[in-house]
Amino acid sequence: MTCLGNDIGYADIFAQQLSVLAEPGDLLLAFSGSGNSPNIVKALERARELNMTSYAILGYSGGKCLTLADHPIHFPVDDMQVAEDLQVMIGHMLMQELSAHPRGWTAEAPGSPHRRRPQLSLTHGVFPMSERIAIIGSNSFSGASFARHCLVEGVAVLGLSRSEEPSASFLPYRWLSAEVQARWRFVQADLNEHPDRVIAALDAFAPSMVVNFAAQGMVAQSWLHPEHWYQTNVMANLRLHEALRRRTWLKKYVHVGTPEVYGSTSGVITESAPFNPSTPYAASRAACDLHLRTFFNQYQFPVVWTRAANVYGPGQQLYRIIPRTILSIKLGQKLQLHGGGHSVRSFIHIDDVAAATLAIARHAPIGECYHLSTARFISIRALVEMICRHDECRFRPGCADHRRPSRQRCRLHFGQRQGPPDSWLERYRRPRGRCSRHHRLVGGALRHDPPSALRLHP
């Protein structure tokens, strides 16, 4: 080891040995207190190049090794002695496993030139296998809320957004404990400006699921410079999808869309409704959905679509109608209701959308589309009056759009709100909902109840 270090440098002593001795399918166990030891980092990088399976037992923040290892075992303790003690404990448990399963050490078939190697089955209790999800557009209200839900569910999450993380007030996952947040990683990268950085971050993290919330929004403004909306919502996403379809680690891609693709409509809309976009924003989103459909048909790209009604919940941007109403009441300011507030909407709590999105990512068949909505319509005026009643504030009055996605395929057991409840200011508690006659959530799995005649054909 000393001679090798003198010849090639200490940072390469493990990677060099792997280059000579390791084979695809071999198992690498890496131990690093900080997760940033250069020789361990390079060994994990070489293991990935050689298609090895890697485990890393780490302390502190986990460092670079946390995203390089296939299966990181992370103890978020800021004490090197404790971190190394925990590594020793893992080593003892490993030796017990090997002793208990001596037949796990097998030779290759007679005549094989390969050496003997361990065929080890590691139990889930000793080496936890955490799911990995990447969230593109994680700074958005929906993306940040989905990140929080995934972290609470024990999932390791990589967030990517074009801007730096905003104030923690708008990032629900930052309200979690430090232990839970240890499974969170963030990379600032723009799909337009830094597509290579996005793909490099995804390759390093190797998530089995990618959920894309990123889009150029703001409907009215899309008329001013429509080329910006097509650049982001179509071309940048096309480059992303072209790269993703070549990644073997990807098992499911969830594309978060919008009901705007259906244009001006009224009443309930099913997933089979034809596209009829009426703005550059809506047209750009419809174009991306159609492009993804061609990728599914041609390559069996593992895509599923979601389209949700108006969302609300803690951490939402203050210009949205519900937080804006609450803020106006608290500040004693007037609130302008465009068109008299007669526009009719359907609202769904962001926690329900997040739970549905994770269930769809885990269990939905590829090529399907799901609408996330409630059964309740409410006008903006009635919504403001409801909030005023709750806050004991007098409502003094000083465009109808009845579009609502059908929830027929995705009513969920795990707690669907029936629109904004009167308990909005009381931490947003919600009643239990019902599931769809077509799809139901049972024990965390999305089950199919035939017959279902609803299919997406964008």
Q: Tell me if residue 73 falls in helix, strand or coil.
A: strand
**With contact defined as beta carbons under 8 Å apart, do 292 and 329 qualify?**
no
Distances (CA, A) of 186 to 55, 174, 180, 233: 22, 12, 14, 22
The pLDDT value given to residue 389: 87
The whole-angstrom distance between residue 61's C-alpha and the CA centroid of its chain comes to 21
Long-range contacts of 38-42 (CB under 8 A, 24+ apart): 38/10, 38/11, 39/10, 39/11, 39/12, 39/13, 39/14, 39/15, 40/14, 40/65, 41/65, 41/68, 42/11, 42/12, 42/14, 42/15
The pLDDT value given to residue 95: 81
Residue 290, classified by CB atoms within 10 Å of its CB into exposed (0-12), middle (13-18) or buried (19+), is middle
The percent helix, strand, coil of the chain (3-state, each to 5) is 40, 15, 45
Q: Which residues, listed in sequence order, are joined to residue 56 by a DSSP beta bridge?
A: 30, 72
The enclosing H or E element of 376 equals: none
As a whole number of angstroms, the distance between CA 458 and CA 456 comes to 6
Q: Tell me if residue 454 falls in helix, strand or coil.
A: coil
Residue 145, classified by CB atoms within 10 Å of its CB into exposed (0-12), middle (13-18) or buried (19+), is buried
Q: What is the DSSP string of 311-325?
A: EE-TT--TTSHHHHH
Extract the tokens encoding 309: 């009604």
Distances (CA, A) of 10 to 4, 5, 28, 54: 8, 5, 19, 21
| pTM assigned to the model | 0.64
The pLDDT value given to residue 2: 73
pLDDT in tens, the chain (458 residues): 777 677 778 888 899 889 878 888 889 999 999 999 999 999 999 999 888 999 999 998 888 999 899 889 998 888 888 889 888 888 888 887 777 655 554 434 444 444 333 333 333 333 234 689 999 999 999 999 999 999 999 999 999 999 999 999 999 999 999 999 999 999 999 999 999 999 999 999 999 999 999 998 888 888 999 999 999 999 999 999 999 999 999 999 999 999 999 998 777 888 989 999 999 999 999 999 999 999 999 999 999 999 999 999 999 999 899 999 999 988 888 888 888 888 888 999 999 999 999 999 999 999 999 999 988 889 999 999 999 888 777 666 654 344 455 544 443 322 333 444 443 344 333 433 333 323 333 333 443 333 222 222 23
